[in-house]
Structure 1
Amino acid sequence: MAVALEPSLSRAEARLRIAAALERAGIAEARGDARFLLLQLLGLTQTDLALRGNEPIGPAGAEALADALRQRLTGVPVARILGEWEFRGLTFALSPETLVPRPDTETLVETALHLVRNPAPRILDLGTGSGCILVALLDVLPGARGIGLDRSADALSTARGNAIRNGVGNRSAFVQGDWCAAVGGPFDLIVSNPPYIASGVIPTLVEEVREHDPIAALDGGQDGLDAYRAIIRAVTERPALLAAGGALAFEIGYDQAEPVSDLGRQVGLTVEAITRDLAGHPRVVTLRPSFGVTPTDNKVVQ
């Protein structure tokens, strides 16, 4: 699709022209996307745009914005165009093998932070992807060390770079493997945002997700629970993975609180809490070994 933006266009005019093109294409967040692309690609702040919106975008800016607009018009998400995304105030590079960090996952990070009892916890992040969960936890917990595990070498390389970029490279390691198989223990905290979408649902996802997110990071098998089964089985078969008083926290789909809780109960784990996200949906299930746990089974945290 041919798109031209003249270098003489002002920043404000470019924003309006990009927004208009996106609106004509039926893109829901056209104005927000246009503003965000302009700010990010030209290295501007909101104040820059407000006070110096009449300055020209210039040749380099015109080329970068035209290329971004072409991609957005073909359905490429803004995060994929930029190649990076912000999560909890930190910036994470993306790759074709990593998911874009989403606000829902902030609920997992917040929940995990409240689970830590050890001032120098060891953390295991299963299916680390971009590393956003582990890096965000290490950023807040200066005494913590952690391991991010993933099947994808590409994802691990991206995660390792993100850890270094965000100042926690010396407290993190990234290991290739299938769930818990490649690591020992004990860990004070095991976190995971595993693939949890049922295979039959994948074709019905919105195009931006279906065509641009790695399917391996989405597809949780026939019922969406394959990864949870594998992780819970590993934790129960290898009790040394969890330290005394340790916890396991899963991000879940909006309708998976009871199925995932049941998987834990079936092997003797206690469901310490089910935490809701900002939209009010169950988003995190916290499990602990049954010994030494305050009986709060089925507690729902608002």
Structure 2
Amino acid sequence: MGILNFFKKTIQNARENQPINEENPLRRGPKLTQERSSISDETFNTRQFQQEVLAVALWKYNENKQNYSSAYKYLMEMEDFHLSEKQANEVIETLKRWNDLKSKKDRFNSLVSQAQTLINNGYREKAFELVYNAYVEDPFDIELVQVISQLADIDNPQSHVLKIFDSLVAINPQDAYNIKYRKALYLKAKMRFNEALDIFEALNVELPFAWNYYQTAIIQNLLGNTELCLNNLTTTFQLDPDLKQDARSFPELQNLQQDPRFLSLIA
């Protein structure tokens, strides 16, 4: 379960629905005059304990105006249980990672919403500048690359869009692999199959990735190269068996549904 789904229930319990339960030892608050039981790492790492202690940390974090120090202090001073500094820090770090994900999602959604508003009012160039400049300032989400390419593709020739991809690699070389992958997807969508294949193959030399082989297989199928398609699907499923589910219903592979070799691969 992803961390956002994981917190979906515990947020509600920790902040709103459940009053502080005196029967719940994690929620009794500081009382340092009595002996407290240490929590073993084995117990600490159980799903049940993790869920409860994270919910409590989130509750105290929000109760104290989003203060990590207050949440940490509460964890260290719980009445019946004694967390080690390492355990308490792990809880706080998990909380920080979740907040960071939430912040990025909010920023991404806000940028997309602003760009849509500009486009709807005839300011397409301004919409592109907004998202592009935001990425230049802080490339916080790789999905912005997809948004930028879609905006650039509205009124510009393909050659211009490809230069945009190259500029993004220069801006954020750490994400060069992902940006090049999205450039290859763009070329595939424009039916520039050989250029897309060159990129996917080069990326696999750098680092084998199931989706590169999968996209290569799809292109080879579109080109009528069934043997090459099946070979790449074999490698795809070796790297990521879960992609079999996608292949079973992917529109650009539907022509293979009667091929026993394909059916064997996706079984």
- Normalised by the length of structure 1, the TM-score is 0.27
- Normalised by the length of structure 2, the TM-score is 0.30
Task: Decide which structure has greater strand share.
Answer: 1
Q: Which has the larger radius of gyration?
A: 2
Question: Whose RCO is larger (CA < 8 A, sep 6+)?
Answer: 1
